[in-house]
Structure 1
Amino acid sequence: MVGGGGKRRPGGDGPQEQQGVRQERSKGFQNSFWLRCQLGGVRRCRTAAFSTPVPLSRNRRCEKAVAVKKGKCCEADVPSDLRKEVESHYRLSLPEDFYHFWTFCEGLAPEQPADSLSASLGLRLVGPYDILAGKHKMKKKSASLNFNLHWRFYYDPPEFQTIIIGDCKTEFHMGYFRDSPDELPVFVGTNEAKKNCIIVQNGDNVFAAVKLFLMKKLKEVTDKKKTSLLKTIDEKLTEAARELGFSLEQRTVKMKQRDKKVVTKTFHGAGLVVPVDKNDVGYRELPETDASLRRICRTIVEAPSDAERLKAFAPVQEMMTYVQFANDECDYGMGLELGMDLFCHGSHYFHKVAGQLLPLAYNLLKRNLFAEIIEAHLADRSREDVDQLAA
């Protein structure tokens, strides 16, 4: 049985060393004035050495952390009522980098922030960004829309929330990936739905994901004018991320810590995290490897007749019986894995089985919103028309 993995926290600087850093920085900054760093509508303070509270203006000020490694951003200049509207439509909390990236794009193109990266990178901000842009107000009866199906591509599991789209030919898109609906995202992933179900991890914030995409684009571009434009955007994005304290690494410490809790990779490769106690209760392995399960699925899909297909379904039916036993013994992760693999395979032949396994698994794991999302997605799973706000 695969366990949940331990939580090993990376070591930090010693107390004496940290105190020395604080004292040194305090001497250098204690007589300095607040510096106004206008970037995407956000003002930041120069140091955290001041203990006197500073009043907030419309453009919120924040204090940069003393240690660069632990730099923390301030709150982005996005009205609280607009934040509540976004999160009420999706019933999911959005991380602060989501809002900071919006103000960053406002700095690039104040009139059309969502399209600020279209000409240079071929990227467009969508999904919850459509609400920040007010696009939902232009759609009649938008209140009745299921926003968790808005820009939900064919292979997107409930854990994935699209925020940026790219090449429509491959259906490239970026999105937040979270293990539970009541938690913040654990990373930003990318997928090309026209190709496969694979989710590639690209940092733990949207600045990192776009930076990695931009660096790849720079290697492909040969035109000097286009290269110059990309480098300019890269400089602005890198500076913004550093000022705000966002990592630009593809694999952060936080993401590596999550890897230790992943019980199985699944077909999409991003992995599943479920609670596993010290007695290894919470997950048990499927009796089939990923390779053998893929062969079983292929046999079912390619069966020459319904009779042959029904016969080929026998191993899946057997695994579903094992899942029932596992659920009785609180190993809910097994059903989640089997259901997710069948969903990721993509064939409509598995929609009914996935529709039985996944909602049950999510509800048992108390991830009820994910259960609702997968039920709605399977009921209207389309390779086209993923923009719910399209006219």
Structure 2
Amino acid sequence: MYKNPKDMNEDEIKQYKDDPRYSCQFGVKCYQKNPVHHKKYKHPPKSEQQKKKEEDATKLEMGEKRKAEDDPDSPTKTPPGSPQAKHLDKKQNNSADAIPECSSSPEKKSEEIDQSKTNDVAASERGSEEQKKRELSPSPEKETEKSDSKIVEKDGKIDENSSSEDHQQEISKLFLTEMPQDFYQFYDFCKENSKENPALALKIVDLKLVGPFDLLLGGKFSQIEDKGTILTHWRYFYDPPEFQTILKGNDKDGLHFGYWRDDPTKMPVFIARNDANVSCKIVPVAENLFGTVDAYLEERIKLANPFEKATIARLQQKVKAFAKEKNISLEKHTPGMKERERKVVARTLHGAGIVAPYDRKTQVGYRKLATSEADLQKMLKKIKEAETDEERKSAMSDLQEVIRWATIAADECDFGTCLELGHDLFSSGVSQVQDMALQMLSIAYGQIDRPAFLKIAEAHFKDRKTGSTSLSIL
């Protein structure tokens, strides 16, 4: 197995032999960097000669790569289509459809960065100049302090001089997401129609502004000691990290509306509704708040008595007039929503579906679960209804096999499989599988670079509440 045993550390060899994990079939030639793979399989130690060869190759590669980046006409420029070129394109374009590289490793990246700095004096000098600029410019902490002082005043009211940029910065800091333009436009609409309390501008149809709107309404989030709990503010039982509540409806059904994002760094793709006390189903409504409220008002008009009907109709006319004045679309199934539908790789139990990086040509990024949706629901039902530990253990063994295959899929770069299973286990609401749900979501969000969603999931699993009367942290 070893080409040059004399060059190897005896302690490393002994440690390898005593390791109880399975041996990786690829041995020292294994290219996998996935932490799940290395947690399951052990790998033989490399000889000093092999280590030196890899280090030399890395130095050479990074030296050429740096030259090519600095000089577009350099003959050592990274060839188009190579793995390095794809990696650079991914960083430059920040494409949602790019497949994360299985071989990427934080440790290796760190070593490469350090090495490239050593090899390139010019880059180092540029870094020094940038550092000087940063030192002369205001620090992020000072910017945040400025923003805080602008946004909230003594009585919890919004400073009229503060800008949407100030609000955006604070919301991003608290909720790890940015709000689209229609969010602020809708708040302006509510202020026009309910100056005393904009949150209740839609009271006639039992809707209330909540979630990030509470910051604009003067919510004192700065007084919350555990900032992690802010991520659970108005987060209903069946709200996955992709769903962010902004409108609260009736408490009987647990009706609420929220922005849906497939990527926490991007703007929402649509607004959806969920009746948390009825089911886990998440139903897309429209692309923006005005279209969503218009659709809901239309629904309420059909069910209202003659007196309510006239009042709701007047409110709907105000919504339409404001949207027309600001050139805001009220379309319910927009091209953007249809485009997103084409990117859905799995529908999931909640019905809204998930989007994960997937290459349809190579079919890398996602594969189907090792069971059907119907069979998965039967497994979950058995686990939930099991009366004894033995019954539950038997039911769990079937689910463990599905999880095992999903982990193998992620090990081979099909990270969407773990994302699908994580969503399904979360949407089931079965308490006995919540740890498994978080495990699957951790793998998926970690590998497809959506860390904000992972933080939201971790906070929600710590305090996942039922009902709809105690979801505010303020």
TM-score class, shorter-chain normalisation, is: 0.7 to 0.9
Superposed CA deviations along residues 336-390 of structure 1, whole A, max 9, x for unmatched, are: 111110110001011111121111211111000111111111111111521111x
What secondary structure does 2:247 align onto?
strand
1:235 lines up with 2:317 in the alignment? yes
1:279–1:145 CA distance, 2 compared to 1 (3 A): closer
Q: TM-score under structure 2 normalisation?
A: 0.64
Greater shift after overlay, 249-258 or 167-176?
249-258
Q: Within 5 A, what are the aligned runs for 1:238-253?
A: 238-253=320-335
Which residue identity is paired with 1:81? Answer: D
1:344 maps to which of 427, 437, 444: 427
Matched, 1:272 2:354: yes
Q: 1:132 aligns with which of 205, 212, 216?
A: 216
Q: Shift of residue 121 of structure 1?
A: 1.1
For residues 164 and 418 of structure 2, the distance between their equivalents in structure 1, rounded to whole angstroms, comes to: 41
Of the two, which has the highest radius of gyration? 2
Deviation at 1:210, TM superposition (A): 0.7
Q: Structure 1 residue aligned with 2:413, among 326, 330, 333?
A: 330
CA distance in 1, matches of 2:279, 2:180: 27
Quote the residue 2:394 is aligned against: 311
Tell me, yes or no, if structure 1 residue 209 matches structure 2 residue 292.
yes
Alpha-carbon contact 1:336-1:361 (below 8 Å) kept: yes
CA-based RMSD of the aligned residues comes to: 1.6
Question: Displacement, 1:79?
Answer: 3.8
Say which of 337, 354, 365 aligns to 1:255: 337
Pairing partner for 2:275 from 184, 192, 196: 192
- Alpha-carbon shift at residue 233 of structure 1 (Å): 1.0
1:176 aligns with 2:255: no
Q: How does 1:10-21 map to 2 (within 5 A)?
A: none
Deviation at 1:229, TM superposition (A): 1.4
What is the deviation of 1:315? 1.7
CA distance in 1, matches of 2:163, 2:293: 21
* Shift of residue 136, structure 1, vs aligned partner: 2.2
Unaligned runs of 5+ in 1: 1-5, 7-76
Q: Which shifted more, 318-327 or 168-177?
A: 318-327
The 1:360–1:144 alpha-carbon spacing in structure 2 relative to 1, beyond 3 Å, is same
Q: Which runs of 5+ in 2 are unaligned?
A: 1-96, 98-161
Q: Secondary structure at the match of 2:271?
A: strand
Change (3 A) 1:318 1:129: same
1:93 equivalent in alignment to 2:178: yes
Measure how far apart 1:245 and its partner are.
2.7
Structure 1 residues 102-181: aligned runs within 5 Å:
102-118=187-203, 120-136=204-220, 140-141=223-224, 144=227, 146-181=229-264
Which deviates more from structure 2 when the two are superposed, residues 299-308 or residues 149-158?
299-308
Secondary structure, in 3 states, of the residue corresponding to 1:280? coil
**Residue pair 1:326, 1:332 contacting (<8 A) in 2 also:** yes
1:32-43 equivalences under 5 Å are none
Report the counterpart of residue 39 of structure 2 in structure 1: none
Partner SS state of residue 135, structure 1: coil
- Superposed displacement of residue 143, structure 1: 6.8
Relative distance call for 1:142 and 1:100 in structure 2 (3 A) is farther
SS at match of 1:275: coil
The Cα shift of 1:174 comes to 0.3
What per-residue deviation string (whole Å, max 9, x for no partner) do you get for residues 18-56 of structure 1? xxxxxxxxxxxxxxxxxxxxxxxxxxxxxxxxxxxxxxx
Partners of 1:228 and 1:337 lie apart in 2 by: 44
Q: Is the 8 Å Cα contact of residues 78 and 99 (structure 1) preserved in structure 2?
A: no
The answer on whether the counterparts of 1:359 and 1:372 sit within 8 Å (CA) in structure 2 is no
By percentage of residues, which structure has more helix? 2
Contact 2:254 2:275 (C-alpha < 8 Å) held by counterparts: yes
Deviation string 1:36-93 (CA, Å, 9 cap, x unpaired) is: xxxxxxxxxxxxxxxxxxxxxxxxxxxxxxxxxxxxxxxxx95432232222211211
Residues 370 and 406 in structure 2, CA contact (< 8 A), matched pair in contact too: no
CA displacement at 1:247 relative to structure 2: 2.2
The one of 270, 288, 293 equivalent to 2:371 is 288
Secondary structure of the 1:154 match is coil
User: Partners in 1 of 2:224 and 2:373 — Cα distance?
Assistant: 43
State the distance in 1 between where 2:372 and 2:227 align: 42
1:181–1:367: 8 Å Cα contact kept in structure 2?
A: yes
Structure 1 pair 318–387 and aligned structure 2 pair: CA distance change class (3 A): same
1:375 corresponds to which residue?
A: 458
What is the alpha-carbon distance in structure 2 between the residues aligned to residue 145 and residue 320 of structure 1? 28
Q: Is contact 1:86-1:132 (8 Å) kept?
A: no
Cα gap change, 1:142 to 1:109, in 2 (>3 Å): farther
| Cα distance, 1:145–1:112 mapped onto 2, change above 3 Å | farther
Contact between 1:359 and 1:371, CA under 8 Å: does it hold in 2? yes
User: Which letter maps to 1:348?
Assistant: S
What is aligned with 1:45?
A: none
Partners of 2:176 and 2:325 in 1: how far apart?
30
Quote the offset at 1:251 in angstroms. 1.3
**For residues 112 and 348 of structure 1, do their structure 2 counterparts lie closer, same or farther at Cα, with a shift above 3 Å needed?**
same
What amino acid is the match of 1:132?
L
Quote the offset at 1:250 in angstroms. Answer: 2.0
Identical-residue share of aligned pairs (%): 39
Secondary structure of the residue aligned to 1:152 is coil
Q: Which deviations, in whole Å up to 9, do the C-alpha atoms of 1:140-165 show, x marking residues without a partner?
A: 43673532210000000000000000
Greater relative contact order: 1 or 2 (C-alpha under 8 angstroms, separation 6 or more)? 1
Name the SS for the 2:425 alignment partner. Answer: helix
Amino acid at match of 1:113: P
> How many corresponding residue pairs?
311
Contact 1:136 1:142 survives alignment (8 Å): no
Cα distance, 1:300 vs structure 2: 1.3
Q: Secondary structure at the match of 1:260?
A: helix
Q: Which amino acid aligns with 1:90?
A: F
Structure-2 change in CA distance of 1:380 and 1:114 (3 Å): same
